[in-house]
């Protein structure tokens, strides 16, 4: 692999992982070629436009104009790259099994142009063993030898959409290679444009590291969500309990309940490990229980809407319910696995007329529902029968929302509650 400034970095997949990675590399003086199967993505980047919220149009335009960043759908140009990073989606199938079809397609494209000296890095989250068991055999069919003729590593993406403090450049980068020389090559490369690189002993260690990170969050969120269900039955405000527990200076990490899990990582990644362990006749009990509890939370929120409406002698059937926020987390435009979709579906099944407002999601086309975000006006808030805060976007005026809403259910504990709260911390007004 070339180590001078002439290094060409190819990135397969220009989504929320690949494009920020490419921009950081290009800013450091490494020429980047981005590859994507979508012509609209490649054309947009070539025209200086970003489709990823965390990357500005100005950065993309400046880098494309300087020749440091380009984008294409032509995979044959991979042979011109010294380093190739695979940042493609790894969804779950309907049976909750890993779908590695995008990785396989990327490996075929890489194999077709594999040349001596190339460094290949898989960044897509997947089950332990994927790099060695799926990618390596395909690459070795070329006759080139791992650790000598080419290098292969796994380096998990750690993107946290909407996080203003931690981003691609300053988030420590874990790297594990098939051989020590593979790890060394990847560390040398990443250190050219990332602040901190953390080498580990194998690709499998790096793969499991990513799964552990998100499983840790999923399990702890599952615990606090179950605590919320318990507290509700006891008539106790779970957020007061959590705030009190968080005063302990050791042995407690604060997690908060909510309407459920969303995004690509936390609801999905633990299932990669569950699937892998089922092939080894082992049941991942913590993971499966946490997933079950977290999946119940949209139903719990829908129940709170029913309860709040019943307090004013309304039924869900025929009521107009407004959801505030459909993105899976604060201040992002991503609706993947968003619990708001499930809340909406459950209320619609009960006969509710459900609309939504989300400044980050102007249009919603999910699960057979095609909706447009409504304007958040005083007329809208006063006319609907119930308002549900599902996503706690920072630009919502919660004081005003509480004041104008007839009934308010707060699944994020962000609305002012003084003199108002009923229903163990979930129903603020009703």
The 10s digit of each residue's pLDDT in 14-63 is 999 999 999 999 999 999 999 999 999 999 999 999 999 999 999 999 99
Instruction: Give residue 364's Cα distance to chain centre.
Output: 18
Do 26 and 19 touch, CB atoms closer than 8 A? no
Secondary structure class of 280 (helix, strand, coil): coil
Maximal C-alpha separation, the chain: 74
Please report the pLDDT score of residue 423 as a whole number. 60
- 0.85 cut: is pTM over it? yes
Do 45 and 71 touch, CB atoms closer than 8 A? yes
Region of poorest pLDDT, from 86-95, 180-189, 414-423: 414-423
Pick from 265, 284, 403, 385: nearest CA to 334: 265
Reading phi first (left if > 0) and then psi (alpha if -120 to 50, else beta), residue 24 is in alpha
Q: Under CATH, to which class is 8-201 assigned?
A: alpha beta
Tokens of 220: 């702890």
pLDDT category of residue 206 using cuts at 50, 70 and 90 = very high
The 10s digit of each residue's pLDDT in 207-228 is 999 999 999 999 999 999 999 9
Question: pLDDT at residue 421 above 70?
Answer: no
Domain ranges in the chain with CATH number 3.40.50.720: 8-201, 248-429
The 10s digit of each residue's pLDDT in 354-396 is 999 999 999 999 877 889 999 999 999 999 999 999 999 999 9
pLDDT category of residue 142 using cuts at 50, 70 and 90 = very high
Please report the pLDDT score of residue 328 as a whole number. 94
Taking the C-alpha atoms of residue 396 and residue 324, their distance in angstroms, rounded to an integer, is 9
Catalytic residue flag (residue 265):
yes
pLDDT category of residue 424 using cuts at 50, 70 and 90 = low
Taking the C-alpha atoms of residue 383 and residue 386, their distance in angstroms, rounded to an integer, is 9
Dihedral through CA 343, CA 345, CA 348, CA 349, nearest 10?
-110
Which helix (H) or strand (E) is 11 found in, with range? Answer: strand 8-12
Please give the average per-residue pLDDT across 187-197, as a whole number. Answer: 97
**Burial of 169: CB neighbours in 10 Å, binned 0-12, 13-18, 19+:** middle
Please report the pLDDT score of residue 5 as a whole number. 53
Name the average pLDDT for the chain: 93
Please report the pLDDT score of residue 2 as a whole number. 41
Share of the chain above pLDDT 90, in %: 85
Question: pLDDT at residue 3 above 50?
Answer: no
User: How open is the CA angle 115-118-121, to the nearest 5 degrees?
Assistant: 130
Taking the C-alpha atoms of residue 354 and residue 374, their distance in angstroms, rounded to an integer, is 11
Please report the pLDDT score of residue 420 as a whole number. 65
Asked if CATH classification 3.90.1570.10 holds for the domain at 248-429, the reply, yes or no, is no
Pick from 10, 252, 8: nearest CA to 109: 10
Annotated active-site residue in 81, 87, 182, 265: 265
* Helix residue spans in 192-268 (DSSP H): 203-234, 238-245
Taking the C-alpha atoms of residue 43 and residue 146, their distance in angstroms, rounded to an integer, is 35
The 10s digit of each residue's pLDDT in 251-301 is 999 999 999 988 777 778 888 899 999 999 999 999 999 999 999 999 999
Tokens of 228: 């919320």
Taking the C-alpha atoms of residue 347 and residue 369, their distance in angstroms, rounded to an integer, is 13
Please give the average per-residue pLDDT across 293-316, as a whole number. Answer: 94
């Amino acid at each position: 692999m070339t180590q001078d400034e002439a290094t060409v970095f190819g990135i397969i997949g220009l989504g929320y992982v690949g494009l920020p990675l490419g921009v950081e590399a290009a800013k450091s003086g490494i020429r980047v070629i981005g590859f994507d199967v979508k012509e609209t993505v490649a054309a947009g980047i070539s025209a200086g436009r970003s489709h990823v919220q965390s990357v500005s149009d100005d950065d993309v335009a400046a880098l494309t104009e300087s020749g440091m960043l380009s984008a294409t759908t032509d995979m044959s140009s991979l042979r011109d790259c010294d380093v190739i990073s695979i940042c493609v989606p790894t969804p779950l199938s309907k049976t909750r099994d890993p779908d590695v079809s995008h990785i396989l397609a990327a490996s075929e494209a890489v194999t077709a142009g594999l040349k001596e000296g190339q460094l290949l890095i898989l960044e897509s989250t997947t089950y332990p063993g994927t790099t060695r068991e799926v990618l390596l055999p395909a690459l070795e069919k070329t006759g080139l030898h791992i650790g000598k003729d080419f290098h292969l590593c796994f380096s998990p993406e750690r993107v946290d959409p909407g996080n203003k403090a931690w981003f691609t450049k300053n988030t420590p980068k874990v790297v594990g290679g098939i051989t020590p020389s593979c790890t060394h090559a990847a560390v040398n490369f990443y250190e050219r444009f990332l602040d901190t690189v953390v080498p580990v002993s194998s690709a499998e260690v790096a793969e499991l590291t990513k799964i552990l990170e998100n499983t840790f969050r999923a399990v702890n969120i599952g615990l606090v969500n179950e605590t919320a269900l318990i507290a509700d039955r006891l008539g106790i405000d779970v957020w007061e309990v959590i705030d009190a527990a968080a005063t302990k200076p050791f042995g407690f990490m604060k997690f908060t309940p909510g309407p459920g899990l969303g995004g690509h990582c936390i609801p999905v990644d633990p299932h990669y490990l569950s699937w892998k362990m089922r092939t080894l006749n082992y049941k991942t009990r913590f993971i499966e229980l946490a997933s079950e509890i977290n999946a119940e939370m949209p139903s719990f929120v829908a129940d709170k809407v029913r309860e709040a409406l019943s307090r004013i002698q309304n039924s869900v059937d025929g009521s107009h319910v407004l959801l505030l926020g459909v993105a899976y987390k604060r201040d992002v435009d991503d609706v993947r696995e968003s619990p708001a979709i499930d809340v909406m579906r459950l209320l619609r099944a009960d006969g509710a007329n459900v609309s939504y407002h989300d400044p980050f999601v102007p249009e919603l086309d999910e699960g057979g529902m095609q909706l447009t975000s409504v304007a958040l006006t005083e007329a809208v808030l006063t006319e609907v029968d119930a308002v549900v805060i599902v996503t706690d976007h920072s630009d919502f005026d919660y004081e005003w929302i509480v004041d104008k809403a007839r009934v308010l259910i707060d699944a994020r504990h962000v609305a002012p509650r003084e003199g108002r709260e009923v229903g163990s911390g979930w129903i603020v007004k009703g």
